[in-house]
Every structure is written in C-alpha cells, then in structure tokens.
Structure 1
C-alpha cells in the first residue's frame, strides 16, 4: 500500500498538505519501491538545469537545499565539511577540504511531478571547462549572484558561456542574510554589466539578520519559511509597510516583460490589467527567448527562498522539446548541412547522444552523455560517429553525485552515463551510422599556464604515466608534453590552482608525489657577424690516423630565419671528396645541439664549406665530422655571439577601466604594445612580450582586474635578449660546468 493510500485511509488530509510528506510522496511516485529503476516522465515534465556562478556565491549550498526539499537526501550538510561529511555534490575529498567545487557533478530529483536533472558546476576560473561542457548539454540554468559581491568576474564569464550556447536562465540573488547585502544594487549591475533585461519577481522582507521571508510579486503574497529547516512555506498577506514598494516593483516587472513579449506588450498599451496566468505566460515566453531574466531572492544557507525558486524552474525554464538542437550532416565534397533534431520521446527517430564528460569510475571509464534524439535500451548497440566503433550497452545509469541508479532505457532529454566506453570528450554516438550525423563540439579555451613536472620518486613513473593519461583524457584544458629543447616534461592548464589540484590528486589517488616548478625557456645562441674558419684536424697514433681540413665561413642568417640552421656545400674539385661532405654536416649539426655560450641550441647560422684538404689513407667521414666540431669551437673563440629569446604575441581582454593598469604591467615585463581596440566597455590590447617575462602573469592580471581580465599568447619570433639576461644565463651555465664557483664556494672562500 502506498503512502498516499495509508494517509487517505486514515483521513489525514492535514498531514497530506504538509510539505515534507508531499515531497516524500513525490519521491515515492518517481522511484518505485518494487523496482530499482527510475520511472520516466513525459518530455514536458523534464528540466535539465545547471547552477552556475562566481566562486563562493553559494551554488553547492543551493543544490544541497534543492535535494533536501525535493526529498532526494534525508539531511543537509555544510560545504566546508565541518561535520566530516560535506555537501552531497562535493564528493571528492579535496573539494570537502578546500570548500570549493573542482569538478561538475550531476544528479536528478523531482519537484511537483517534474523530473529535474541538475549539474552543479565549479565557480573558479581555473575550472571553467567544467562549466563550458555542462552548459553545452543543458536546456536552462540558474545564475546565482551574491547579494554582497554582486556581478563578479566569473559571473561575466558564465554569462558569456550562456550566451554562446543560447541557454535561458533565472537569476537567484543569494546570501540576503549577510552583512552588507543589497539585492537592488545587484539588479542594477545585472542590467548595466551583463546587459540583461531583468526585474524582480520577488522582494526580500528584511535584509541581513532581519531577513524574515520574501514577497511573491506575481501572486501578490508574502512567503515565510518555517519549521526546523524552512520546510513549511506559510503564505500570508504582504506587510503593510511594503505594499507600496511591492506595487511599484510589480508594475516595473510588467513593464520590463512587456518590452520583451508582444502579447503582454499589447495588453500594456491597451492598459489592460494582466492576470497571474497572463504574466506567468509572458515571463516564460520571454525567458525562453533570452529576452528577459526573472530575478528571485533568498538565502540558501538560512533555508529561505529555495522552494519558490524550484517553482520558477518548472514554470519558466524550457523542457527539452522547447530547445532547438542541431546536428551536422557531413558529406564528401559537399558543404556540411545542419538538421534540427526531433526530441519526441519515442523510438521512431534514430538515437543520437553526445559524450560531454569523462571520468574514471570504479568500473572503468564513466562517460556522461546527453540523449538528444530517439531512445536506447540496455543491451542495445550504438556506434561512435568519429571512430565507427560499436559499443554494447551492458549497463545504463543515472547519476546522483558519486552514486548511481540503474535504468532500463534512456529517452531524448535524459542525462545518463555509460561504463567502459572508449571515447573522447565531445564524441557523438548514434545507432545509424549511414546518416553521418554528428553534434557540434564544445568550445575549449587554450591553456594559459605551463609548469615543469616530474615524479618525486623515479619508481613512481608507472603511476605517474597512468595519472597523466587519465587526467589529459578527462580534462581537455589539461595538456602534457615533453619539450626536447629544454629536456623537460611540461603540463599546461588554466591556472596555477588548476595544476596544483592535479598534482595533489596524483599524490592522493595514485600515490605518486610530483614536483612542480617554473619551466625553462628555450633560448637560442647565434652569431652576430660572419666569421671565417680554416681548421685542420690531424691525429696520428700508429696505423691509419685521422686527417681532415675544412675552410669556409660561418655567418648569421636574416632575422626572419633565425630559428633555422643551414649547411651549404660550396666546394669545387676534389679537395674535399663528396663522400665526406655528410660527415662535415653531421659534425656541425651535432655541435648545434648544445652551444658553448649558455648551453642552448644554436640557430640562425649558415655553415658555408668552401674548401679543404684530405689524405688518401687517413681521411674518413669521422675525421671530417670531428673537424666540423672543431670549427664550431674555433668560431666560438673568435666570433661574436648573442642569445636569442622567444617573443610571444600576447592578446589581453579586460574592462575599459583597467586598460592603463594592464598596459603598465606589460611595459614592466619588457613588452611592446602593438595596438588596441575596444567595444561595449571591453578593451583588447595587443603586445609582444618575451616569454621569460610572462611567468606568473595570469595571477597578476586577475588580481589587477578583479578577475575580469583574460589573455592568450602564441609564439611570434626569436629576438636578441637584453645584455643583463645574457650575462646571467652565461654565468649560470659556467657555474654548472664548474668554470665559475657557485654561491657555496664563494661563501667558503670569504670565510
């Protein structure tokens, strides 16, 4: 007998109205006790939402409250994990220790018979790809703003990402209980900085410690959250001292929505009073088109305003059938066509899904997927559109943080996961490969920070390789490469925290401590002026000896070719037999691997072999190889040398008010400003800066622009470095070779 029948048999109508029992009833309806598989809701009763915001705005706390009020979890815990439990969605130990979200986590729950798939995303700019791939597959979002901080740096980034993927959103101004909270200032910032047509649909009753409840402007009533954890929502009249403000703000709401919705706009012009349903319908239509953003208020930590926000999610955000998703049809020799997918929940349309996130699970690789069209069942076969590989679906699961629940089938609009599928992030899966359907991939920003990495113990190299292979596959912004120029292994990411987190995960999850450090810069050595040479290599030690003589010129190449080495055979006649010419070239190239000035490679040099001499018995390719090596040493003694350094083309984007500070930073780093342009309050500065001076710039830029500045850089050219840097590099090399005493020896001599 279900809980509903028990209550009816006992005629406990009052208990039925209690919020906690209603949520439990909803949970029972969606998760059958007799069957461990979740029951599927119709398409119009599904919402796929993400919760995004600046770091520390209360995203995870809000998600925890949503799960509690919808009956998904039985008790709430703090984000910081002071009770040694931590928030449900922060399942990683590092997340609970640091109190931040590092990787996005998926869950699903129900509210008033609506299935809601939720993805909680990180707020820190270093983990921006987690937000990027979540918004790629979601239909709507909740933009959380701090009532004290307002629109902050990552809020701007998240807003750009929502715009990129055309994701409608609700705004939730959180932390009304904090000192200095001012939701009215936050609303004005949304309009000025984010360019949102936004208006309050709720007003707070009191702020800071006096926050008692909220006023629902649409239904014109006051809501108070009572009980131990705010589970009981008491509806009352609007307080007398706030009726004038509520009436004024409701009129402002109607005005803003009228500007975005034609139907309500006509009613407004005809001076008709819209009904509650008229207003809700207009808000929904304009919200789906991203022409209006309804603003909710509350405080998740103090359990106020979460239930009305859930009502807003089901009333105003789109279901999967209301979002136009496009697939690409690729045909040989023809332009790529676009086709609109059919999200109807049936098996008539061929299945199409997108793998948007990879994770190492307990049973192998866990692949998060979004189904856009058709349906699949457990035991079906699907194909990877990129590789053509067939995959048998042995198990389908829906995710609740780090827990899983099995499902028998998956329909369009569902977010689910597969086990043991070998694929990459962004791969498309289909049941019919003949259609050549693929989904557009997500935007992946380029890494901005590189660091040298190596395992602390050489015996951990196997674990190190496993960790690197896993993390580079899971995270497309985490890059790993070996640089042969500087003989170092480098990792690149979105920031120092990003790389630091991965270093800690290697130690915790793979028992492989690593050492992170500033990477070396790939300098070069080159000649400043042409230098002639006439070198004789002669060695006699009984038996056949070695004899080779080479003459010619070593000269610098033009600046446009200063990364190249050139060997030119200008000999005439048989003084240097042709079979020995490759030996001369090999000797020159071998010496170019490590210069004698600072130990870096030689480049921008042309070796012109003009003449020489050989011995009929003692000459060989080896002798001419050694002669060429001797030439480089001789030219090093006689010629003038300089060190070249890589120059990067840097592009910095920041708000107009920080333009002067950013230019000052680039000048301080020996950069040359090459140009700038701006639009809509943002400035883009173009500069050329030595790579050696760019280390640590990501943190400096963020701190000086309140986290709003972004930059990218790419290699431009090699250019002579300053005399001070050249002298420093030469001294370091000579100390490493034992030519100059190091600091310890200097101190000993002084003593």
Structure 2
C-alpha cells in the first residue's frame, strides 16, 4: 500500500522571474486537474475572484506572490502537490527553502523577455541539488524571441542541456498551435481562452497533406524544417538523464489561454520523479521506509486572520503520517500528537487522517516549531540543508505605539519564525534590528504587523554592509576575546542566540578577517 501511494505522488515547485506567468500556469494546472472550476485573474482588480494560490491580502493588492503556497489535486489517478513560489527577488529566501521540499521543478520563461536574472539564480540552486527541471516557455500568443534563439539562451544562461518536447507553429500574431513531439500530434490554437481544452489532431506522418490543410503549406513546411533542425541539434529525450538533472525537456504554450498546459501535465505525470530519498545528518532516508519522518520547511502565521493560527508546513520524507499518533520533535526531544493535520488547497484546508511521502501537511503550531525542525517516529536525526541567508538590508525596528508593545513583540516573534526576515538584538544596548534579503519585505512586515497583530512600527536606517555568523574553535582564546571587545558595538545575537558580526563595508570585513584569522565568518547559517 505504501509503495503504491508513493508511486502515485509528484511534488514539484514552479519557479520563475516575476510576471513570467507562474501563478497563471498554476491556476491552469488546477483547472485541468478539475480542482477548480474557473481560473482567477492574477492581475485584474476588477475581478473579485483572485488567483487561488495568492491568498494573502497584500498579494491580492500587489498582484505578486510574496509567500509560497501549497496546492494539491488529483489528475489521472496521480496525486500532484504544487508549491507555487514567489518570483520577486525580495522573497527569494522563501523560494530557496521551498526547493528543499520538492522532487522536481517547472521553470517558466516569458517568450519575449527570455531568461531573466532571478530565473538564473533559482535554476542554479536546482542544479546544485540535481533537481529534475522541465522548462515551460510561456506567452507564445505574444510577439517574442525566435524558438532557436530562445533555446540557445536557455542553454547558455541557465547552463542546461535542453531537448524540446514540443515545437511552436509560428509565434505572436502568426501563432497557429503546437506540434507535440512527445505525443506526435498537432494542437491548434483558436485564441479563445474560454475553451478549457483546444482540439488535438493526431498526426503520425508529418509529410501527410493533412498538415498543410490544417495550418497552410507555408507554416507546415516551416514546421517540418524546424523539427528536422531540432532533431539534428538536440539530444533525444532520455528519462534517466532528466531524473539525474542532466537533461531538461522544454515545452511551449500560453498559460493564459490554457494552451500547451495539458501537454505539459500529461508528460509531467509520466516522467517526473516520485518522492526521492533525502539525506539526514546520520544517513540517507528512503521514502518506502515504514517509520515516519519529515521536516518543517515553512511556517505561516495567520493563514486565517479570524483564528490567529500558525501552521507549520511539513514535507513527509518517509513512512506514513497519521492523525493523533505521537511523533518525536527531535530538537525539543518531546513527543507530540496532532489532532487536525491539514492538507492544502491554497487557503482552503482539509483535515487528513493519513498522509504519504511527497505530501505536505500543515500542523497547527503554538510556537513549538522552527524552520528546519525534524519530526520522526522516534529516531534521533535531523534533515539538513535548509539555508538562512545573510540579509542585505538592515533597519532598526521601533515601536510606534507604546500601548501595543506586547502585540508588536508577538508579531515580530512569529513573523521571524516564518522566515519572512531575521531578527538581531544588539549586544551593546539590546536594540532590535530587522535584516531582510529584499527591501520590499520591510513593507510586508509593517503591513502584516498592523493588519494581523494590531501593532504599528517605525523603521530607522542602519548602515550595515553584511551580517556574518561568527564561529570559533576556542571561545576563551585571547584572539576571540579581543575581537569581542574591539567589535562590541557591531555584535548582535540572532533569534537562536548565535553571534553575528555587522560589517559596515567590505573593507571592514576584510580587515577584521585578516586581524582575527582564527575567527570564522559565514554568510549562510543553517536552520538548526
């Protein structure tokens, strides 16, 4: 039973630069999966129905995703878990953490803009982890780059080895449809976004005159030439190479018009990996082991503002997670039971009795969990590799309403547990400093403190170039004690009590490193 359920699961993330159409693609995958009846407009404020995966108030106002959302649905007896990640670089940390919980990814690229900076960074993380990647080139109904130019750019900028599994017939105004190399058929484009599924015509032989009748002789000849060229240039699709992260299939389509999405989904459920083994600090854990284990990769406070609830998102790595069964919270070394574990559909949640490897469950949390925590059936081990990045923007946070200091305290505490930003407390005077990866996060924090906790805050600029976690082999050494004395004004503790050094410039950092060679400075701290 366990093996059957594992093979039924596909857990993947969708990543891209903002505005490439990631959330729209997520909506359309849900539409094809029968999970929703109509797709929400991500951008339009006129339409009251927002995109299913953008459920936070601030996301609806801005038209961007600021937090990863989890969506699950069934398609052709396959259970699919999608993690729709923020594209905006200011929220990249949430995306990086989410990538520790997926088994494969779909990268969305805008046909007109091509490969953009944020996509390069995210794909680099996937490559480092050998995560299987499928590329979806979106917005083909708009004018954009030539197919081969785009494939070339994907290979060079993202350092991928691609193989097209579909080929567009024309582009922009001349866009007539797609030839599906994977299924050997033609899908004609009518441009009617109300039609959920376009008509598909089987074409075994491309030299058949039917093709000329369908799309005109000129377009048919161009398609034949391009397919011949593709066969000559690109390697044949090999599933093992794709699963090992060495070959990346490419699909073309228009998510807004539901076009090319079914082809992507059909191929995805056939080739995408089932839940994969994961490395812990003691051993490699396989999904088909009987004993349950999983880890927290995200914490979200106030998913339902009426109930002030906090949910810890747990990715199940092995065994089955059962409701009301006691599990060991490894860091706290205590057993915990969960009476209402949730499965997700954006903000809609359902209580589940049993979950399997690959699934994401939401556990109600009263403050027990931190990002990176491991739950097991009793084994003492921790899953590793959930990074906490050195922030790039720093501000003092001050209470704007003395009557609401408790609310502010609680709000900051919970938002920092979520990993929205990092909190540092200066050793010298106990002042609180917020560090974020992107400037927009300060706005999100201020907005959420006010709307979810009823607390108001003010920021004050702080000139910090880099925050580095400090490590030493000997805390009593004269060198370390001298470092702490001389740099006392620039030292702070993070939320876990680790020492952090604030360098005001790269020059200061270099000088400090050369003066104290036995003190180590790290830009990334792992969630412990």
TM, length-normalised to structure 1: 0.58
Instruction: Say whether the 8 Å CA contact 2:25–2:256 is kept in structure 1.
Output: yes
- Of structures 1 and 2, the one with the larger relative CO (CA 8 A, separation 6+) is 2
Instruction: Say whether the 8 Å CA contact 1:135–1:165 is kept in structure 2.
Output: no
In 2, the alpha carbon distance for the partners of 1:432 and 1:352 equals 9
**Aligned CA distance change for structure 1 residues 44 and 136 (closer, same or farther; 3 Å):** same
Residue 328 of structure 1 is matched in structure 2 by 281
**In the alignment, is residue 393 of structure 1 matched against residue 338 of structure 2?**
yes
- Matching of residues 487-636 of structure 1 within 5 Å: 488-519=431-462, 564=485
Measured after TM superposition, the shift of residue 298 of structure 1 is 1.0
> Deviations for 1:712-736, whole angstroms, at most 9, x for unmatched residues?
989xxxxxxxxxxxxxxxxxxxxxx
- SS of structure 1 residue aligned to 2:100: helix
Residue 90 of structure 2 is matched in structure 1 by 126
Instruction: Say whether the 8 Å CA contact 1:133–1:357 is kept in structure 2.
Output: yes
**In the alignment, is residue 61 of structure 1 matched against residue 24 of structure 2?**
yes
**Aligned CA distance change for structure 1 residues 183 and 41 (closer, same or farther; 3 Å):** farther
In 1, the alpha carbon distance for the partners of 2:311 and 2:138 equals 33
1:440 to 367, 370, 384: 384
In 2, the alpha carbon distance for the partners of 1:248 and 1:70 equals 35
In 1, the alpha carbon distance for the partners of 2:523 and 2:378 equals 42
- Matching of residues 570-719 of structure 1 within 5 Å: 648=504, 650=506
- SS of structure 2 residue aligned to 1:192: helix
Residue 290 of structure 2 is matched in structure 1 by 349
**In the alignment, is residue 94 of structure 1 matched against residue 47 of structure 2?**
no
**Aligned CA distance change for structure 1 residues 410 and 429 (closer, same or farther; 3 Å):** same
Name segments (4+ residues, structure 1) moved above 6 Å. Answer: 560-563, 686-689
Measured after TM superposition, the shift of residue 220 of structure 1 is 3.4
1:199 to 131, 144, 163: 163
Instruction: Say whether the 8 Å CA contact 1:396–1:406 is kept in structure 2.
Output: yes
Measured after TM superposition, the shift of residue 445 of structure 1 is 1.3
> Deviations for 1:314-373, whole angstroms, at most 9, x for unmatched residues?
1221111xx3322332xxxxxxxxx332322xxx62111111111124373211111111
Residue 45 of structure 1 is matched in structure 2 by 8
Instruction: Say whether the 8 Å CA contact 1:91–1:401 is kept in structure 2.
Output: yes
2:352 to 382, 393, 407: 407
In 1, the alpha carbon distance for the partners of 2:320 and 2:244 equals 27
**Aligned CA distance change for structure 1 residues 405 and 647 (closer, same or farther; 3 Å):** closer
Mind listing any 5+ residue stretches in structure 2 that lack a counterpart? 204-210, 466-480, 491-501, 513-521
- SS of structure 2 residue aligned to 1:328: coil
Higher alpha-carbon deviation: 447-456 or 118-127: 447-456
**What is the aligned-residue RMSD (CA, Å)?**
3.0
Residue 207 of structure 2 is matched in structure 1 by none
* Structure (1 or 2) with the greater helix fraction: 1
**Aligned CA distance change for structure 1 residues 120 and 564 (closer, same or farther; 3 Å):** closer
Instruction: Say whether the 8 Å CA contact 1:200–1:249 is kept in structure 2.
Output: no
In 1, the alpha carbon distance for the partners of 2:43 and 2:371 equals 30
TM, length-normalised to structure 2: 0.81
- SS of structure 2 residue aligned to 1:89: coil
**Aligned CA distance change for structure 1 residues 561 and 342 (closer, same or farther; 3 Å):** closer
- Matching of residues 157-556 of structure 1 within 5 Å: 157-225=121-189, 229-236=194-201, 237=203, 238=211, 239=215, 240-254=217-231, 258=235, 282-320=237-275, 323-329=276-282, 339-344=283-288, 349-361=290-302, 362=307, 364-420=309-365, 422-433=368-379, 436-475=380-419, 478-483=421-426, 485=428, 488-519=431-462
Higher alpha-carbon deviation: 155-164 or 116-125: 155-164
- SS of structure 2 residue aligned to 1:118: strand
- SS of structure 2 residue aligned to 1:141: strand
Instruction: Say whether the 8 Å CA contact 2:160–2:248 is kept in structure 1.
Output: yes
In 1, the alpha carbon distance for the partners of 2:155 and 2:135 equals 12
Instruction: Say whether the 8 Å CA contact 2:167–2:227 is kept in structure 1.
Output: no
Instruction: Say whether the 8 Å CA contact 2:193–2:258 is kept in structure 1.
Output: no
Structure with larger Rg: 1
Aligned length: 468
Instruction: Say whether the 8 Å CA contact 1:148–1:182 is kept in structure 2.
Output: no
> Deviations for 1:11-55, whole angstroms, at most 9, x for unmatched residues?
xxxxxxxxxxxxxxxxxxxxxxxxxxxx99732222111100111
- SS of structure 2 residue aligned to 1:301: helix
